Structure 1
Amino acid sequence: MKKLLLSSGLLRLATVLVLGLLSSCTQNLFVTKQPLPPAAALSVGADYQYRLRKDDKVTISVFDHEELSVGSIYGHYPVSENEGKWELVDAFGNLNVPKVGNYHVEGLTIAEAEAQLEKVLSKWIVNPQLVIKVLNLETTVLGEVNAPGKQRLEKERNTLVEVLGKAGDFGVYADKRHVKVMRQDAKGLLATEVNLTKMTGFERDNLVILPGDVVYVPSKNGKQFDRKSPTILGISSIISTFFIVFRFLQ
C-alpha cells in the first residue's frame, strides 16, 4: 500500500513539473491587449525629409575653406561620430557655425539649413559650397533578428524590410506576423503591428523607418518549449526508468 501511495505521489509531482514546463510561455516585450492602429498611422509622404532636432551631431563642410569646417567631408579621412569632430544642435535649437556664431536650425531640413548658411557665408566667400551631415541618424532593432541593436540610417528613406535586412534577417523563432514599429513624436508614442507573411498590402506595410524608431520582432510561442524540450525529455526518461524499476521490484 505504501509503495502504491509513493508511486502515485511521484507520478503527480512529475506530472506537475512537466505541465509547468509545457505551459510556460514566451515573454515578449511591448505586449498590449488593445489592437494597434494600422501601418498607415506611421506612414510618411513621398516628400518626407529629415528635419534637424535638438541634440543632433552635425558636421559642417565648406569647400576649400577648412578653417570654416567642422569634421569636413572634404578631408582625407572619413568623419565618424566617435571622433568628436562635430557640433551639437543645442537645447535652443542653435548650431554653432564658425564665423557665423549661433544659428537657429531646429526644424529645418538639411537642404534648407545648407541654403540659409550659404547665403550668410556669401558675405565673406564668393559662391560658398556648404554640406551638412547628421551623424546620429539611427534606429533600434530588437527581438528575434540575427544582429539586434542600433543601426545607422545612411539614406533619407529606409524601409522596414531594408532595416530588418541590415539586422541580419529574422531569427529562427521570429514571429513575422506581429512585427512592431514604435515612434515617439511631439504627440506621444505611436505604434503599429505589421504582418510580413502576406503580400497583400506589402507596399503599405513596408513603412519608411525614421531616425529614433524602434523595430521589434517578437518570438513565437514555441520558443520556450523548444528550449526546454531537453529538460522535459530528461524528466520523462527519469519517470520511465523509475516505473520500470518500481514494477521490477514489486
Structure 2
Amino acid sequence: MIKKQIKKLGFLALVGLLISSCTSNREILYFQDGEAYSETAINYEENTIQPNDILSVTISASVPEAAIPYNVGAPSTTTINNLETLKLQGYLVGTDGYISIPVLGKVLAKQKTINELQDTITELLVEGGHLLNPVVMVRLLNAKVTVLGEVRQSGTFTFTEQYLSVPQALGYAGDLTINGLRDDVLLIREIDGKRVIKHLDLTTANWMGNPEYMVKPNDVIVVQPNRAKVKTAGYIGNVTTIVSIASLLLSATILLTR
C-alpha cells in the first residue's frame, strides 16, 4: 500500500515539474501584436562615423587622371571583389577622429554621417582649387554586429548594407533557439564615446519605430536563456515549484510515518 502511494506521489511530482517547466506560446511567438503596427514608419537614422571605422573614399573628376593623386590603392578602373583587400586599402579613422587623404591631409570624420563626410571632402577639393566638379563616394567597410547567447550560431557578422534591422541581425545568427528569452533581449550600443544598454521585447512590434530597431555598427545583441533553459541547468526558477516539491515531500513523510 505504501509503495503504491509513493509511486503516486512520484508521478504527481513529475507532472508538477513538467507543468512548471512548460513554456507558453506567449513567450515564444514574435511580434504578436504586429497587425496593430502594420503602418509603422521606418526610422532611417543615419549612423555617424566612429574611431576604428574603416572607410572607402573614392574621388573622381571630369578629367580622371587629375583625381588619381587623391586616391590610394588601385586605380578606380580596377575592380576589387575581396572585402578584406578593400579594408587594407581603406582609411582607418583614428582615435582623434581624423583620416588622412592624399594631398588634402587630415580630414575630421568622427561624428559625421557618410553624406556629411562626402560633402566636407567635396568642399575641400573645390574651395582649394584641387579638382573641377569632383565626385566623392564614401562607404563604411567594416560594419559589424555581434550576436551572443541563445542563438543557433553566435558570432560577429560583417554587413555591407547601410541599414540593417535587429531581426535581420538575429537571422545572421540562425534565429533564437527555443530556449531564448524573447521578451528581454539586450542591445549594447557604443556611440560617440558612450555605452547604452537597451532591453528589447521581440514578442511585440511596438518598438519597430524606435532607433533601436536598426542596428548600428559594433552593436552587441545578447539573447538570455528563458526559464525552461535555466531550470534544466539545475536552477529552480520560481517559488511555486519549490513550494510544490516541499508539499509533496511533506505529504510523503506523513504517509510513511503513519
Matching residue's letter, 1:113 = L
Aligned pairs for 1:99-248 (under 5 A) are 99-122=103-126, 123-186=129-192, 188-199=194-205, 201-204=206-209, 207-223=213-229, 226=232
The alpha carbon displacement at 1:120 in A equals: 2.1
The alpha carbon displacement at 1:224 in A equals: 5.8
Q: Residue 54 of structure 2: which of 37, 54, 57 is its match?
A: 57
The alpha carbon displacement at 1:141 in A equals: 0.8
Matching residue's letter, 1:210 = K
Partner of 2:72: 70
Q: Give CA deviations for 1:49-77 in whole Å, capped at 9, x if unaligned.
A: 12222222112112344442235675311
User: Given the superposition, is the C-alpha separation of residues 219 and 79 from structure 1 closer, same or farther in structure 2, using an over 3 Å criterion?
Assistant: same
The alpha carbon displacement at 1:125 in A equals: 2.0
Q: Is the 8 A contact 2:151 2:180 kept in 1?
A: yes
Separation (CA, whole Å) in 1 of partners of 2:68 and 2:154: 38
Separation (CA, whole Å) in 2 of partners of 1:136 and 1:180: 22
Partner of 1:11: none
The alpha carbon displacement at 1:187 in A equals: 7.3
Separation (CA, whole Å) in 2 of partners of 1:197 and 1:170: 12
The alpha carbon displacement at 1:225 in A equals: 5.4
Separation (CA, whole Å) in 1 of partners of 2:204 and 2:113: 35
Q: Is the 8 A contact 2:50 2:191 kept in 1?
A: no
The alpha carbon displacement at 1:142 in A equals: 0.6
Separation (CA, whole Å) in 2 of partners of 1:113 and 1:157: 18
Q: Is the 8 A contact 1:89 1:95 kept in 2?
A: yes
Q: Give CA deviations for 1:54-112 in whole Å, capped at 9, x if unaligned.
A: 22211211234444223567531135245511121223222110111112222221111
Q: Is the 8 A contact 1:140 1:213 kept in 2?
A: yes
SS in 1 for 2:58: strand
SS in 1 for 2:119: helix
Q: Is the 8 A contact 1:81 1:136 kept in 2?
A: no
Q: Is the 8 A contact 1:158 1:209 kept in 2?
A: yes
Separation (CA, whole Å) in 2 of partners of 1:127 and 1:220: 58
Separation (CA, whole Å) in 1 of partners of 2:201 and 2:121: 44
Q: Is the 8 A contact 1:70 1:87 kept in 2?
A: no
Separation (CA, whole Å) in 1 of partners of 2:77 and 2:112: 23
Q: Is the 8 A contact 1:57 1:136 kept in 2?
A: yes
Aligned pairs for 1:37-52 (under 5 A) are 46=43, 48-52=45-49
Q: Is the 8 A contact 1:61 1:71 kept in 2?
A: no
1:80 aligns with 2:83: yes
Equivalent pairs: percent with the same residue?
Answer: 21
Alignment RMSD:
2.8
Please identify, of 178-187 and 123-132, the stretch whose mean Cα deviation from structure 2 is larger: 178-187
Q: Is the 8 A contact 2:44 2:163 kept in 1?
A: no
TM-score by length of 1: 0.63
Matching residue's letter, 2:153 = A
Separation (CA, whole Å) in 2 of partners of 1:132 and 1:204: 27
Matching residue's letter, 1:125 = L
Structure 2: gaps of 5 or more residues: 1-16, 18-41, 235-258
